[in-house]
Chains A and B, each alone.
Chain A
Amino acid sequence: MSDTKKELQVFGYILESTNRTEILEYLSEELFSKGLVDDKYKDAVLKREKEYPTGVPCQPFSIAMPHAERENVYENAIIVTKLLKGAPFHRMDKPEDTISVKLIFMLAINSNDQELEIITQIMDIIQEQSIINNLVNARSESEIEHYITDYMSKSNQKNN
């Protein structure tokens, strides 16, 4: 099993747009152009976000974690996006309400054995205020990537 396990690819983005659909389309296209997801991923993410929104009201900054189904994904990846002006997302627990989201964790995950590990790490990041602050204050996309990969390698060391 473990020989099929691939590294999680991490990408950081900083976007100015305040348009949720435009942002999700752009990020999906980025994943597609890198060959990590198929051509249906974008529509799947948009559909899923409409039916089951992924905005999560967190302190001090709200986040969203858009994703599609496993079958649209070739390789495990996460895009962490800082939104300079925030963008409205509907709440996961109260879809009729919207919140202004500052960070987007877009997930592309297809492997069963790695799924729990990756999602667990992302949940830990979301609840770790210091790293959320670092991400929101990041000045470059590579800085975002650094914070995420650094956190993940530390937590992997802890577990091993």
Chain B
Amino acid sequence: MSDKKTKTVVMVCGAGFATSTAGERQVQQIAKELGIKVNTVKRRATEIKTVVSTMKPDFYLLMTPVSFELNAPSVDGVSLISGVDKEKCLDELREHLKK
């Protein structure tokens, strides 16, 4: 496991804690299943500009749409809450974590 690089994932939601926590839990679970180390960061949508200028995450998990141009791919995470199309979203997360 030590030869694998730690992935950094930024969760984005309105308040920076509630819904992004749901996303964080899923990302950590999948990373664990895949044996990948992951560093998860939760941010408010209003902080995205700062994140983009100071961090280079492997991908973003968006619980709210972001109009700002991101510096990494993004996954729409609302299905993790609703349960609708959740599997599709989990697959996307797996793909990004395995990259």
Q: Which residues of A contact B (CB under 8 A)?
A: 48, 51-52, 54, 56-59, 65, 67-70, 91-95, 107, 109, 115-116, 119-120, 123, 126-127
Contacts and interface: CB of A to CB of B under 8 A. Distances in A.
Contacts of A54: 14, 19
Interface of B: 13-15, 17-19, 21-22, 24-25, 45, 63-65, 76, 78, 80-84, 86
Contact of A119 (B18, B45, B82, B86): B18
Contacts, number: 70
A126 B18 contact: no
Contacts of B80: 123
A127 B83 contact: yes
Contacts of B14: 48, 51-52, 54
Nearest to B64: A52
B17 to A, nearest CB: 6
24 contacts: A48-B14, A52-B13, A54-B14, A54-B19, A56-B78, A56-B81, A57-B84, A58-B84, A65-B19, A69-B15, A69-B17, A92-B19, A92-B64, A93-B64, A93-B65, A109-B17, A115-B21, A116-B24, A119-B18, A120-B21, A123-B22, A123-B80, A126-B82, A127-B83
